[in-house]
Structure 1
Amino acid sequence: MKKRIEWIDCVRAVGMVLIIIGHTYAVGFWQNLVYAINVPIFFVLSGYLTHRKTIRQTALGGVRTLLVPYGVTALLIFFLSLVSLHRHVPGMITTANWNHFLIAALYGIGTPSSQTIFHGTVIPAIGAIWFLLAMYFGNIIYQLLLNATHALSRGKETAVLVGASLILAVGAFIVSAVIQLPWSLGPALLSISFYTAGHIIREYRMMDLNMRNGILALAGLLLCCWSAIRGQFWFNTGYATDPLLKMLGAMAGSYFLMYLFKGIETWISMRGLAKLGRLALITLAFHLVCLSVFTDTVILENHLATWGVTPNGVGIILDVYRILLCELATIILAKFKLVRKVFAIR
């Protein structure tokens, strides 16, 4: 078994917290900043860790670690949604409910889409686990590029990867303006730029703790903040107010977060946070169940408003509540062997 890298698991844990915040309460600049990093960071980390493998190895390995968790989570959400619907409105479960779920699960996109080329047909969303499909196909596409550049020197290989990722990103933005591709293939194409960013960070030793890289990391934070000021970036739908700036800002913010935790690791132990990072898939699944089925935040929000808490105060409390709930549930669920097996947790 490969040794876990503590700071990488810590970054995964923070990325998952940002996903929860993004789905619970974040507005304006802070929303833009959260969405600039929360999903891209996972692809940058993957690019940083990924080495050349066969396409068969990548595809089969992804079935176990990505597609199985996707399918199990989707089924769980559907079952609990039906239970919730029957409890609140007995007798309202119809064929339309089944069709809605099947289309959402099989099409696999994160946000409902009205497809213009299909005369406004509405495609329902499966929710936050679109990320697993995008990573599955992103892994395969990225390995295709790595294998294609196998005979090239380091500099030329990186140049080809950058060029290919730019072409794929432009194509993804253009296509996504017309149609959300099935299986989250649009964000999968966009993700290649983030894999490539991770590759560059590793190949050019940008994680070494020195003055030059420290300055680069701070510059990355500033660029990420500037991109958040300038507008929005929706990874799952392939939309950005300024695509080039938003992509660069997401890469730069991810690099800052990575460098920050690499530095913190040299000062203090972060084993607890790293453990949550290793269990991030369980957290994602439970969080999505919360979003799709539970009404706990609505009830809490109504009570807080009744008590006179300001809207921003309510939002912050909801963020803290949902983070604590999801992480506590993760720790409890991870104690069950079946759960660890389903989500490929070692």
Structure 2
Amino acid sequence: MRKRVMWIDIARGIAMLSVIVGHSLFYYVSSDVGRYIYAFHMPIFFILSGYLYREKAYAKELKGAAKNLLLPYYATCLVMIAVFFVAQLKTPWLVNYPASFSDLVSAIFYGIGADSRLPFPAHVDSIGAIWLLLAMAIALQLFNLIIVFTKRLKSKRLVRVFIICLLAILGKLIATNWLLPLSLNAALFSLVFLYIGYLLQEQQLLEDISWKIFIVALFSWGLAASNQMFLLVSVGASDTLLAILGAVGGSIVVIKLSQLIATKKVVDSTLGTFGRLSIIVLCFHDVDLTYSQVPQMIMAADFTQNLIVKIIIVNLYRLIIPVLAVLLVPRIPGVRSLYLNRQYPFLKRKPDLVVKKKTN
């Protein structure tokens, strides 16, 4: 297992906090704060994955995605099924969602994170934030296939750019009328971010980000966020190139800040843990996001008329379930293997037996 890089964990931790805040803005989702968050908070996971990518055999890449991405996805779906039945008891703090059990099953297996957009008269409910796991699993398979398939070509970079751009454009165009199953539109488009991360690692451009690059990245992020909302989940952006520019710029800014934070022991430990266990944070945040009525109750309460104060309280509440999950899941045998299978596999590998030949 490769040694973990602290600033990468911190960057993931910041991104996960941004996901939670972005989902808790209510009327301010399309505000300046919302646009800045949505510009980078999902693309950065793909950029970091591209940065960490190492070429693998097809079967090994598929096995890794199944254990580390699909297993947490379906484990969380089982949790959502359990909460769904509890919600049928009409408890005031849980939302009855979806309308029926069959709708929930459809949402699980269709696997999109936005309102359904289909070319035929039907509706599929959103599965929520864990769409990211499906999109990442598919994107990594395609990306690994592209890298391995082109590695012996003389013009491999040009071919890779062509293939990735073609698939990204395809995902974007189809998304205007049809959000494909398993968040395939987002997976196709995210190949761009995976390749950008791969190139950044290949050129070692993230190891020492200069302040000049930081300022350019900050400007790019601000330019994109001030002009449009970028929703990777549905590949929604009025200016696609600007969205990519903003996503890369915002990610570089967060990475630079993460590298600075990595020198501060207390802060780096907290954010690093949040990032290292980001899958647990994402999954249990999604359960809370889907079923909890508490944020709506806070927003409807009359203890104050200040919406900003209420939203701050909602965000503090939104941290409770993920933090509890981060503290408890790694300590529960069996459950931790569902979410952290790399560290806690169900079946431990037996050490290879070395048979020594006897010498006469």
TM-score by length of 2: 0.87
Q: Partner of 1:46 in structure 2?
A: 49
332-341 or 99-108: bigger deviation? 332-341
Superposed CA RMSD: 2.1
CA distance in 1, matches of 2:45, 2:13: 10
Residue 302 of structure 1 aligns with an amino acid whose one-letter code is: A
1:240 partner SS: coil
Pick from 307, 312, 315: which aligns with 1:311? 307
Residue 246 of structure 1 aligns with an amino acid whose one-letter code is: A
Sort the Cα spacing of 1:267 and 1:69 in 2 relative to 1 into closer, same or farther, 3 A.
Answer: closer
CA distance in 2, matches of 1:16, 1:161: 30
Q: Partner of 1:135 in structure 2?
A: 136
- Deviation at 1:272? 2.6
Q: Partner of 1:187 in structure 2?
A: 186
Pairing 1:67–2:73 present: no
CA distance in 1, matches of 2:67, 2:133: 11
277-286 or 158-167: bigger deviation? 158-167
1:307 partner SS: coil
Deviating beyond 4 angstroms after TM superposition, the runs of 4 or more aligned structure 1 residues are 266-269
Q: Partner of 1:281 in structure 2?
A: 279
- Deviation at 1:278? 1.2
Mapping of 1:62-101 within 5 angstroms? 62-88=65-91, 97-101=100-104
CA distance in 2, matches of 1:165, 1:253: 21
Pairing 1:106–2:109 present: yes
CA distance in 2, matches of 1:52, 1:322: 37
Pairing 1:164–2:201 present: no
Q: Partner of 2:61 in structure 1?
A: 58
Structure with more of its chain in helix, by fraction = 1
- The CA deviation string for residues 261-297 of structure 1, in whole angstroms up to 9 with x for no partner, is 1233246561232112111111111111111222222
Q: Partner of 1:262 in structure 2?
A: 259
CA distance in 2, matches of 1:35, 1:172: 19
Pairing 1:7–2:3 present: no
- The CA deviation string for residues 89-127 of structure 1, in whole angstroms up to 9 with x for no partner, is 9xxx9x971210121111110012141x21x31121111
101-110 or 308-317: bigger deviation? 308-317
Percent identity over paired residues: 30
Q: Which runs of 5+ in 2 are unaligned?
A: 344-360
CA distance in 1, matches of 2:295, 2:127: 20
Bigger Rg over Cα: 2
Native 8 Å contact 1:48 1:199 kept in 2: yes
1:334 partner SS: helix
CA distance in 2, matches of 1:276, 1:336: 18
CA distance in 1, matches of 2:316, 2:238: 29
Sort the Cα spacing of 1:324 and 1:103 in 2 relative to 1 into closer, same or farther, 3 A.
Answer: closer
1:314 partner SS: helix
Native 8 Å contact 1:207 1:262 kept in 2: no
Residue 166 of structure 1 aligns with an amino acid whose one-letter code is: C
Q: Partner of 2:346 in structure 1?
A: none
2:55 partner SS: coil
Native 8 Å contact 2:44 2:251 kept in 1: yes
1:86 partner SS: coil
1:170 partner SS: helix
Residue 316 of structure 2 aligns with an amino acid whose one-letter code is: V
Pick from 316, 321, 333: which aligns with 1:320? 316
2:123 partner SS: strand
CA distance in 1, matches of 2:324, 2:99: 35
Residue 272 of structure 1 aligns with an amino acid whose one-letter code is: T
Native 8 Å contact 2:299 2:307 kept in 1: no
CA distance in 1, matches of 2:261, 2:306: 35
Number of residue pairs matched by the alignment: 334
- Deviation at 1:193? 0.4
- Deviation at 1:143? 0.3
Q: Which runs of 5+ in 1 are unaligned?
A: none
Q: Partner of 1:30 in structure 2?
A: 33
1:200 partner SS: helix
1:122 partner SS: coil
